[in-house]
Amino acid sequence: MSASTISERIYQGLIDQIITGQLKPGQRIEEQAIASQFGVSRTPVRDALRQLAGSGFINFKPHHGATVTDLDLDQLSEMLETLEELEALCTRFAARRMTAVERKHLEVLYQQQLDSVKRGDEPTYWQLNDEFHTSLCAGAHNRSIQQITENFRSRLLPFRAFVFSLGSRLETAPAEHRDVLDAILAGDEVRAYQAMRNHVATSNLRVITFLRQREQQTQGGSRSRAAMMT
């Protein structure tokens, strides 16, 4: 396994721990403890921490350690809402501008998604899901919108990936992709826009709902501990 693959595994593992609350806001992250947890040296851990800092999940300063940041759910909700509209806009343009070859490629990707679902192969499905969305962005044939959309998708990747760990998304997402594909093949811009908007909104809602419930549970636990100490 390459060094980049190892650091990516640590990066995603730490993100999952932050999103689920196993690593709490303000908690210090010790390099050696993380290295022991993942059974690796400290070098890929440092690489993963730099990635986390770049994504805003931690505050990290070399030789001074790292601490978990406090997620701003209102800001995250706004960013997810923006992505929702951007992807829908790309899909609207794609319904009008995709070439015959691009539409056929989208059909192939969709069929491969179905095959991966039948096999229960989530990693492959996730990769194909990303290719499906990327193809739609490229199919808009508008470089400005494509670049902005891909930037948001990259920044929100950890949360989009986390959706699949919540369960059942693998069962429902393919049908939503079918709606998008049918609209693209029909050249129906309005239906394509709405289908993608609904698809992304469904995933976004699951993320925000989970995080707000976790926040409420954390606050409730803090109030209970405070009451016991008075």
Look at the alpha carbons of 75, 169, 18, 130 in this order and tell me if their dihedral is positive or negative.
negative
| Same domain (yes/no): 30, 81 | no
Give the tens place of pLDDT for each residue, 128-137.
Answer: 999 999 999 9
Q: What contacts 24+ positions apart, CB below 8 Å, involve 78-82?
A: 79/152, 79/155, 79/156, 80/156, 80/159, 80/204, 80/207, 80/208, 81/204, 82/152
| Same domain (yes/no): 141, 205 | yes
Number of H helices, E strands in the chain: 10, 3
| Same domain (yes/no): 25, 126 | no
Q: How many other C-beta atoms lie within 10 A of the C-beta of residue 28?
A: 11
| Same domain (yes/no): 159, 54 | no
- 229 falls within a domain: no
Looking at residue 229, its pLDDT comes to 46
| Same domain (yes/no): 84, 170 | yes
Nearest-CA neighbor of 126 among 177, 83, 86, 81?
177
- 14 falls within a domain: yes
Checking if the pLDDT of 112 tops 90, the result is yes
Domain range enclosing 191: 73-214
What pTM was computed for the model? Answer: 0.77
Which H or E run includes 70? Answer: none
Give the tens place of pLDDT for each residue, 67-84.
Answer: 998 878 888 899 999 999
Query: Mean pLDDT, to the nearest integer, of 145-160?
Result: 88
| Same domain (yes/no): 27, 97 | no
| Same domain (yes/no): 92, 39 | no
The whole-angstrom separation of Cα 55 and Cα 26 is 16
